[in-house]
Structure 1
Amino acid sequence: TGEPKGAVHCQSDIFYTNETYCREVLELREGDRLFSSSRLPFAYGLGNSFTFPLLNGLTTILCREKPAPETISRIFREYRPTIFFAVPVVYRMLLEHHRHGNALDTSSLRLCVSAGEALPAQLGEEWQNTFGVEVLDGIGSTEMLHMFMSNHQGDVRYGSSGKLLNGYEARLIDHEGAATAAGEAGNLWIRGDSAARGYWRRPETTAQTFVSGWVRTGDLYTQDAAGYWWHMGRSDDCFKPTGQWVSPVEVEGVLLRSENVRAAAVVEGFDEHRLSCVCAVVVKRNDGDAAGLIEDELRALCEKALPRFKQPRQYVFMSGLPYTATGKVQRFKLREQLRSHKVASFGVFA
């Protein structure tokens, strides 16, 4: 999401992620063929495409081409992967590709995995209903080398990051540094033996992130009574328009229930009095649809599903959202555009 920091890992960290996430969640078996649309330079792709298949004597499918729907469809058809790793935006593109008459052959898949950005519940459910394959959403980081929370096969709670993996510890800390009460949102700190030793030649940043054996993830989370963890957003993406925290991820999940919405992002906006408010940036599924009618539908959806302080007061329609190379929405770019009153000049972001 920003400039590379150079997280320093030891070789033993690779083996630790294999014994934790790979063993517990993937449960690799003879004949598995792993294909990841996220590439080797990213920690997520490194495990998916290199260390997990290598350490378990299995096949990896590598592709130099950009992971466009046509390319992924061809790989599914020709190379028959059994496990597919991607980010939410890729799953959305593949579903749209399939809906437009380009049949996607997923018959070889036994499992799909999502990471990089929280997987909207509606998207995960739609994928499973369409193709009959679960999508296991989870969260990891470069600092921890791979996943430390995940949904599990046969135990999927769409909209959540699943449960904490064996071998890791987690705690939620408020903005004053104290542990949060049960059920309340807090900043996620994680601990486990795959943690990096720090950032390469960046002592100040290292001291901020790595604290007494814990890693500050920068994510805001809650944990429910059943042990599932729910991503509220990046700590710097959440905001308090009326003195109460608003989670972009929660509001976006409601907006995406509409069949007329292809993508959505929620950021802090400002009303005519320059007071903080919830702003929804929406990408229509069909360009020709009337924005006003869709806005009315979305307002009605949010009134039913969200308390008043979380309901968007502003709606901005764009042709596309800005994404990082790893498929994360760059909400900071949207905030910058809103604050500089350049919303009308938004175009399609690659």
Structure 2
Amino acid sequence: MSVLHYDWLGHHAARVPDKTVWVDLHSNREFTYAEANDRSLRLAAHLQKNCGVEKGDRVGVLAMNSTDMLEIQAACAKIGAIFLPLNWRLTVAELDFIIQDAAPRVLIHDTQFASECAELKEKAGVPILLETSGSGGDTAYEAAIKSSDPTPVHAAVTHDDVWTIMYTSGTTGLPKGAMNTYGMAFYNAVNLGVPTYFTPNAKTLTILPLFHTGGLNCYSSVALYFGGTILVMRTFDPGECLRIIDDVDIGLTHFFGVPANYLFMSQHPDFATTDFSRLACSGVGGAPTPVPLLETYKAKGLALQQGYGMTETSPTVTVQDAEMAFSRPGSAGKLAMNAEARIVDEEGVDVPTGETGELWVKGPNITPGYWNRPEANAETITDGWLHTGDACRVDEEGHFYVVDRWKDMYISGGENVYPAEIESTLFKMPEIADLAIIGVPDDRWDEVGCAVVVIAPGKSLTADDVILFCQDKLARYKIPKYVIFKDELPRNATGKVLKRVLKDEIGDLRKSA
């Protein structure tokens, strides 16, 4: 008989068949490793025998979070197909570009996206649509699994084969499909699993979208690699997250979110009474986390372990352990075990320790490139070094500090200004519930700061209050010139503030000054 490699689900199904691997919180479905493996085998056989999917073919998925997503990715691994999760927040026009680019053989979709997928099938020529509800029941997806034998022809894959393609948000241009290999998934599990204390007893809650690396790989895929259990939440609910964390019978050990998730949880009425003591690790990433927010959780005895990564890096590049989280608030931790990093200037020359530059990364955890985009590969990869686009510095002890997005930085009177630093300062104001700093045009200084503020419920605040608060805490060139109040900030599916949208909404403030 042949021995299969890189089939994590199949491996654990053979060893711990009766252990729970996936729990779908929306539909209350639970699957043991044996049950999940059987369903994935049957789905793989259907894709192969009834849909003509071969090794390297793409299987698109347009669906809300559910265990179906993890099941589909596992099925792809068995036959060497490429898992293509799609952002359900995109318009048909945006999805059409991705579908045309990736050319999936099959598009599996939630019932609620049936009309959009029918339009995409016509526009982009997707050969086959397969409908699911994400909740079981009487659907074509469930019928396909039920009617198929668990006997696909397994494909031989290596660490260099592509398992998943995830398209970037496209905030700086057309979306690009970052190819993620089996090797990247393996090294991410190793790089992330050790400092975040993963074991086969781990039980993690997935709240971020599974079409994003934060949802898929922090910590869903890591828990699968270690043989743990994954609870999948359809959409983020701060109160429900707190309830699950507090439930001793559930026994959650791992949680990951972006700063916005932790912010909204801290503002929920149940936050004060939630017991976080059973969490072995609570990770945070996706954007620099304001130190006041870290301190809020520290007061509850919880270390928010920051890390740094991106879709193209699987995603872990740097990560904190719990001790670092308490002793180095604001850092992104130290370099992961299987990763390399440089901090360079605009000419690609290494800067001295302690100075800010652009972070470049390299290693087996880094994407081999973008799908069908040789020009993008040439622009962003130099001799194997991926240009992250993030401004960063590293201290003498090897702790990395991600200052901000390189492109979010603005220059005021010749001085580099990093919005994250100002945001961290202003978040100390209890009147502020949410906030973003952006650079806007200015006749005298080229650019100046604009604070876009959401006032906390029951509080009041003026623009003068905000500026006065900064006076003795920030250099003059860092103090925002403008303060604008909004009811909420535009965010993407993972909670990141869409600063380009804010800039478009606000326009040129010189005209109204």
How high is the TM-score relative to the length of structure 1?
0.89
Q: Distance in 2 between matches of 1:210 and 1:186?
A: 17
In structure 1, what is the equivalent of residue 209 of structure 2?
39
Q: Does 1:17 align with 2:195?
A: no
Is 1:184 equivalent to 2:355 in the alignment?
yes
Answer yes or no: is the 8 Å Cα contact 1:137–1:162 preserved in 2.
yes
What is the CA–CA distance in structure 2 between the aligned matches of 1:49 and 1:105, rounded to whole Å? 21
Paired with 2:461 and 2:446, the residues of 1 have a C-alpha distance of 28
Task: Say whether the 8 Å CA contact 1:34–1:48 is kept in structure 2.
Answer: no
The 8 Å contact of residues 49 and 62 in structure 1, kept in 2 or not, is answered as no
Pick the aligned partner of 1:269 from 433, 437, 440: 440
Post-superposition CA distance 1:206-262 (Å, at most 9, x none): 211122111111101112223222122111110111101000111111111111111
Q: CA deviation at 1:327?
A: 1.3
Instruction: Give how far 1:287 is off.
Output: 5.6
Is 2:294 the counterpart of 1:149?
no
One-letter amino acid of the counterpart of residue 170, structure 1: A
Matches within 5 A, 1:285-324: 285-286=456-457, 289-292=460-463, 295-296=464-465, 298-324=466-492
Q: Which moved more, 1:1-10 or 1:196-205?
A: 1-10
Which protein is bigger by CA-based radius of gyration?
Answer: 2
Equivalent residue for 2:343? 172
Greater shift after overlay, 182-191 or 87-96? 182-191
Match of 1:29 in 2: 199
Structure 2: distance between partners of 1:7 and 1:275: 35
Match of 2:353, as an amino acid? A
Q: In the TM superposition, what is the alpha-carbon distance from 1:323 to its structure 2 partner?
A: 0.9
Residue aligned with 1:205, SS: helix
- Within the alignment, does 1:62 sit opposite 2:232 as a pair? yes
Residue aligned with 1:189, SS: strand
Q: Distance in 1 between matches of 2:350 and 2:445?
A: 33
Kindly indicate whether residue 506 of structure 2 is the aligned counterpart of residue 335 of structure 1. Answer: no
The alpha-carbon deviation at position 39 of structure 1 amounts to 3.0
Normalised by the length of structure 2, the TM-score is: 0.62
Aligned equivalents of 1:262, 1:226: Cα separation in 2: 34
| Correspondence list, 1:251-262, <5 A | 251-262=422-433
Pick from 94, 107, 111 the counterpart of residue 265 of structure 2.
Answer: 94
Seen in structure 2, the aligned counterparts of structure 1 residues 30 and 57 have a Cα distance that, compared at 3 Å, is closer
Query: Could you tell me which amino acid in structure 1 is paired with residue 476 of structure 2?
Result: R
Match of 1:114 in 2: 284
Cα distance in 1, alignment partners of residues 353 and 301 from structure 2:
35
Deviation of the 1:73 alpha carbon: 2.8
1:88–1:119 contact (8 Å) kept in structure 2: yes
1:174: Cα distance to partner? Answer: 1.3
Superposed displacement of residue 21, structure 1: 1.9
Residues 97 and 343 (structure 1), Cα distance of their counterparts in 2 relative to 1, 3 Å cut: farther
Secondary structure of the 1:143 match is helix
The amino acid that maps onto 1:194 is: N
User: Aligned AA for 1:190?
Assistant: V
For 1:195 and 1:207, locate their aligned partners in 2 and report how far apart those are by CA, in whole Å.
15
| 1:282 is aligned to 2:450 | no
Local SS of the residue matching 2:179: coil
> When the two structures are aligned, how many residues end up with a matched partner?
337
Q: Percent identity?
A: 29
Structure 1: where are the runs of 5+ without partners? 345-350
Q: How does 1:122-133 map to 2 (within 5 A)?
A: 122-129=292-299, 131-133=300-302
RMSD of aligned Cα (Å): 2.3
